[in-house]
A and B are shown apart, each in its own frame.
Chain A
Amino acid sequence: MSASIARTLPFFSARPAVLLSALMAASALSLALASPAYATRSDLKIGMSIEPAGLDPTIAAPVAIGQVTWQNIFEGLVRLTEKGEIKPQLAKSWTISPDGLTYSFTLQPGVTFSNGEAFTSETAKFTLDRARGEKSVNPQKRFFAAIDSIETPDATTLVLHLKEPAGNLLYHLTWPAAVMVEPKSADNDKTNPVGTGPFTLKSWTKGDRLELTARKDYWDKDKKVALSDITFRFINDPQAQVAALKGGDVDAFPELGAPELFDGFKDDKKFIAYAGNTELKVVAGMNTARPPFNDKRVRQALMMAVDRATLIEGAWSGLGTPIGSHYTPNDPGYVDETGKLPYDPEKAKALLKEAGYGKGLTFSIKAPQMSYATRTSEVLQAMLADVGVTMNIVPTEFPAKWLPEVFKGHDFDMTIVAHAEPMDIDIYSRPDYYFGYQNPAFNDTIATAEKTTDDAKRAELYGAAQTMLAEDVPALYLYVLPKLGIWDAKLEGLWKDEPIPSNDLTGVHWKD
């Protein structure tokens, strides 16, 4: 505060009365705010493409729910930082037994939910039991499958006994689906979320906006929460998103809907435009259970027919990171596999010929309506045509039609989606997953990795798994979608990268 007053002094020095009232107003403001360091503006209007389906991330999968509530309203035992590191949150510290079967958490004392209820080991036990129990509708119930029993020796100690070691347990506990809820309010969190975070829901005008307001009794005094009022605006049309930014209806759009509109903000000094990392892996999955994609040579040939740089240029204005396996450069243990089957149309043709498709190959791709999917399919279609492959594009509504047809019914040749869940390479080892990929060596590697608690060893195993996929190509590994963030140049503290879909606004503030 003192710094910002010093800067405003010269303007008022000629008129002491004005100066006095300005000082009084400023000090009143600084009293009203939790954090006196940033007193200029404490409201934020932030734009999102998709409105959340309810506000309880523990009962529904849509990422928009976590993008509103995670860290802002709800907190977990542990949290994830912008860099993807696991840090303490409601659990102050923890120890893991040498056999990896017992996790003992020491919880933060003095934490309350926004309805006044205390957060204790009992609440934590309730949350985890609700997520793993028989009636659970948690979209990530499998995260909690390793937990055998939960003990609460005292109010600030929580002990998890596992059936088998789970190397990713702490990481999974950072997710929106694992946030802490409270017995009296849990059933109504969908409409009236009650968490331990620094903000609470103020109002929700469905279809338009949602307002959060800062809590005065937030437990974590070390966290400098500068914002007092947050408005999420839901604007689906990319043109309207640009209009809202330029017209000042929103201060930030952390994920702009259209890459071709992104460059327009780069020269505008009022805004900062930053293309960050996400976990959204765009892959063209193939049905490896049936011809022609049960033949590895065909899959490899198609991979070699793809020039990733040109594809990203054509489909997403060059904004995107090429990948060679089902893994992003942000994640621990990343191995660059883009050179394994490099662009080589001649080799692709030869390989197709060897597999018996020298005279051509025709198949269809079920492409969802999202613009990245339709555009990538179109560029892919042209690239495959160059090696004598005819790919027909079949528009398939996502998720309503895609889920029963492709995901569950396995009725497809090829499809294309951005897999949004971080660190989900294990999907290739899940039985009956839509790729139909079956590789016992891969399954073993994943199973061992999941049981390994040593971070370096686990990363190494995930590296080996990436290499196997890059060799077998059950899906064409294309690129990672960027996080096209645009925000007011005076705004600081928004996440540039996104190790998990979120809008953590607890560290956001205005420069004076």
Chain B
Amino acid sequence: MLRTLARRLAGLVATLALISLALFLIIEVLPGDPAAIMLGTSAQADTLAALRHQMGLDEPAIARYLGWVGGMLHGDFGISYSYGVPVSQLIGERLAVTGPLTLMATLISLLIAIPLGVFAASRPGRIVDQGATLFSQLGIAVPNFWIGLLLLMALSLHLGWFPASGFDGWDHGFWQGLHALFLPALAMAVPQAAILARVTRASVIDVMNEDFVRTARAKGLSRSRALWRHVVPNALVPVATMLGLQISYLLAGAVLVENIFSLPGMGRLAYQALAQRDLVVIKNVVLLFAVIVIVVNLAVDALYLLLDPRLRGRS
């Protein structure tokens, strides 16, 4: 067990080193000089040179890469070009929005997808199943930012149930924060729920055809008890796998949804930083996204052990 964990951690560090290098190289070839963007079209050559020096852009690439990695080891992620504040502070503030937002979206998607998938599977071909299929197809076809716009128009503008934009922070209370994040979380959750409902349905139908289910029914277990007690727990492994894979889509979706709802989250930060070529912010945000995806995948592996006792014996 410990050896597996150690091997996993070593793999994690190696992956991150490779990702940081690839990221740095991509940013190197990305067109756009941050100093020129900062100083605009009337800038003189001498002011540009002065600013490039101030930003450390005149150093050789290898020195800048080592400076970045070395700084990170000391917990120093650099200073944002555009905001002038430490990137760690910026990311910290933004995670307080995107973290809960993604978590909420995941929870909402599970709350929609699992009951829907299970009910659809338990009555294949019936009205619930057809409804679930329709929902899945629509949910997969429609992009989350469009759902966001529709929700915004209907529930914020016409009905006034939710704030139209922005986020007042968590200082005003937990429930108010959740209230402000609900619509964007729902917009992000619907496409996820559509996919997860599909996976749940297929997986439940597969398990229902297994011998042990027939045995359970033969021993006199009721249909619904067999379903919830024996089928659903066994059907959740593929759902967990899907959930882990979806996290990167969820984070990518946050970029668009946060822009629609003007939420000060990581996605909006990444978008703005890219437009302004705030390279210090871009590389750290993208690296953090990579870390999140890797860690979530590790967590999903751990979740398998919980869901499937057979796997615990191995390794």
Contact = CB atoms under 8 A, between A and B. Distances in A.
Contact of B41 (A53, A190, A208, A407): A407
Contacts of A59: 38
Interface string B19-38: 00000000000111100111
Given A139-B43, A141-B44, A404-B33, A240 B38 contact: no
Interface stretch (B80-88, B131-139, B201-209): B80-88
Contact of A206 (B37, B85, B153): B85
A400 B272 contact: no
A433 B246 CA distance: 48
Interface stretch (A84-92, A178-186, A229-237): A229-237
Contacts of B60: none
A420 to B, nearest CB: 9
B51 A54 contact: no
B38 A247 contact: no
Most buried by A among B36, B269, B278: B36
Contacts of A427: 41
B32 A139 contact: no
Most buried by A among B39, B259, B278: B39
A61 B47 CA distance: 12
B50 A53 contact: no
Interface residues of A, number: 47
Interface string B92-111: 01100000000000000000
The A contact surface, by secondary structure, is loop
A205 interface: yes
A249 B163 contact: yes
A353 B232 CA distance: 77
Interface residues of B, number: 52
Interface in B50-94: 50-51, 54, 81-85, 90, 93-94
Interface stretch (A3-11, A130-138, A155-163, A359-367): A130-138
Given A205-B93, A243-B164, A400 B37 contact: yes
A137 B261 CA distance: 35
Given A139-B42, A234-B262, A404 B32 contact: yes
Interface in B226-269: 259-265, 268-269
A338 B117 CA distance: 65
B160 interface: yes
Nearest to B52: A137
Given A136-B47, A400-B277, 15 more contacts: A53-B38, A61-B42, A134-B46, A137-B47, A137-B50, A206-B85, A234-B262, A235-B166, A235-B262, A240-B262, A247-B163, A247-B164, A400-B31, A400-B37, A408-B36
26 contacts: A53-B278, A61-B39, A61-B41, A136-B50, A205-B169, A205-B264, A207-B268, A208-B166, A208-B263, A233-B165, A233-B262, A235-B166, A239-B149, A239-B152, A240-B260, A243-B165, A247-B157, A247-B160, A249-B163, A249-B166, A397-B32, A400-B32, A404-B31, A408-B36, A421-B41, A427-B41
Interface of B: 30-33, 36-44, 46-47, 50-51, 54, 81-85, 90, 93-94, 149, 152-153, 156-157, 160, 163-167, 169, 259-265, 268-269, 272, 275-278
